[in-house]
Amino acid sequence: MLTSGFSGTKEDEWLEVLSEIEEIARSSESSVAAHALLHRVEALAKREDVPPELEDRLDMLLIELTEAARDACTNTKCPHYGKRCKMR
């Protein structure tokens, strides 16, 4: 998850990872992509080494991704799979 070859501090590593995830979240229109990112961010949030300065940023990202992922239809037989479902 965190890059091992990064020469900065732990906080710099976390900033880099969070910035990367935020960029992917902004550029992605897909609810399925938001769902995949949500799992990645949840795993990061469970880690013990999250810098206190970045906890709020991580929490906001979790909230935004949870909201975006909620819109995704997860029924593989539905014609709206991966999008906002009109059948719900």
The verdict on residue 79 lying in a domain is: no
- Flag whether 62 is in a domain: yes
Could you tell me if residue 29 is inside a domain?
yes
| Residue 17 near residue 56, CB atoms below 8 Å | no
Q: Is 15 domain-assigned?
A: yes
Residue 59 belongs to a domain: yes
Domain total in the chain: 1
Which of 17, 37, 31 is CA-nearest to residue 75?
A: 31
Q: What is the pLDDT of residue 4?
A: 41
Could you give the CA distance from residue 24 to residue 26 in angstroms, rounded to a whole number? 5
83 found inside a domain: no
pLDDT tens for the chain, residues 1 to 88: 444 444 468 888 888 888 888 888 887 766 667 778 888 888 888 888 888 888 888 899 888 888 877 766 777 888 877 777 766 5
Whether the model pTM is above 0.75:
no
In a domain, 35, yes or no: yes
* pLDDT value of position 9: 81
Residue 44 lies in a domain: yes
Range of the domain at 30: 10-70
**pLDDT number for residue 2:** 46
